[in-house]
Amino acid sequence: MQYSHRKAILQLVPITFVLLILSACSGFKHGVYEKAMGYERWEAGLEEKTLRVDELTVAVLEGKGRGERPTLVLVHGFGSNKEVWLRFSRHLKNDFHIVAIDLPGHGDSSKPMDKDYGISSQMAYLRAILAEIGADRPHLAGNSMGGAIITLYAARYPEEIGSITLFNPGGVYVYESELMQCLARGENPLIVKEHGDFDRLMDFSMEKKPFLPWPIASVMAEKAVANRSINDKMFSDTRRDARNDFDEVLVAVKVPALIIWGRHDRVINVENGRIFEERIPDSRLVILDDVGHAPMIETPRVSAQLMEEFVMSIR
């Protein structure tokens, strides 16, 4: 009887152990995620800060060298966040005062559902953020939607900035992409509705997808699912602005522009990059082989080197 009792207890041990792990799993993976992000920020020389802009809380990552180095402001794309610039920033931290922004509706910034998130509105938010930062004629870099935002900024307020670097920018959609075909079928791979959609988004948007261990990818997927409602709203607002003619914006850009595009972009056809180069007076297009929609993530060292050489040539 005593032996049977001890055997039953021993059989329960592995079951209890598994249950304890599962119950702590969420807290564990979020802890791993925060530690990993902390390490990435440290490697990039960036610290978390918050600003108060137009009654909104805006989260930023800021590096050293304010007032001593040229300021570089980094603007992410739709549904993304400031962390996409971490690996890219590692290669620039000694030469620039870096500020990576979470636009309203994104990342750790405020996400009110009653605000407008079209390109023009986000450009106005960005201008208010730059005024709060107080940088003297910063250089702007933006990916996708962020590229469209800083292009509009450069067209309207060229005297306020030094240059723009555009990574697969939005705004011009003359040449059809796989995303446009998906939208025509009523599908939107940029909106993560459930956990599995996150992996499909990574595969769709990038040719060289970075390795993300389970805890990191899982937390990122959770965050994307939690942001579905605001992402739906922002996509609708952004798409509304995309119907406007961007040609007048491009020809009005009066600052130097570097355009970097991944040849295998499924989100925005790379051929649209040639229109940016043709229309913006002082611009140059660089097309990267074996790269998709996010060069600063897929090939951060090369992307950073191209941008640094471009900015230094201006200065």
**Max Cα–Cα distance, the chain, nearest Å:** 90
Which residues, at least 6 apart from 192, have a Cβ–Cβ distance to it below 8 Å?
Answer: 79, 198, 201, 221, 224, 225, 227, 228, 231
Amino acid 53: pLDDT? 93
pLDDT tens-digit series, residues 102-120: 999 999 999 999 999 999 9
With a cut of 60, say whether residue 93 has pLDDT above it. yes
Distance from C-alpha of 147 to C-alpha of 309, rounded to nearest angstrom: 19
User: What residues does each domain of the chain span?
Assistant: 29-314
Q: Check: CB of residue 117 under 8 Å from CB of residue 233.
A: yes
pLDDT tens-digit series, residues 158-209: 999 999 999 999 999 999 999 999 999 999 999 999 989 999 999 999 998 8
Residue entry with tokens 């080197």: 305
Q: How many CA atoms lie within 13 A of 50 on its CB side?
A: 9
CB atoms within 10 A of CB 93: 19
- 3 state DSSP class of 164: strand
With a cut of 80, say whether residue 73 has pLDDT above it. yes
pLDDT tens-digit series, residues 26-67: 688 999 999 999 999 999 999 999 999 989 999 999 999 998
Please state which architecture CATH assigns to domain 29-314.
3-Layer(aba) Sandwich (3.40)
pLDDT grade for 222, boundaries at 50, 70 and 90: very high
HEC profile of 7-37: HHHHHHHHHHHHHHHHHHHHHHHHHHHHHHH
Distance from C-alpha of 161 to C-alpha of 71, rounded to nearest angstrom: 10
Distance from C-alpha of 190 to C-alpha of 293, rounded to nearest angstrom: 12
CB atoms within 10 A of CB 241: 22
| Main-chain phi, psi angles of 297, to 5 degrees | -95, -45
Amino acid 243: pLDDT? 58
Helices marked H in 45-136:
86-90, 119-133
Mean predicted lDDT score pLDDT of the chain: 91
Q: What is the helix (H) or strand (E) element at residue 220, kind and residue range?
A: helix 214-226
Q: Check: CB of residue 104 under 8 Å from CB of residue 125.
A: yes
Q: pTM for this structure?
A: 0.90
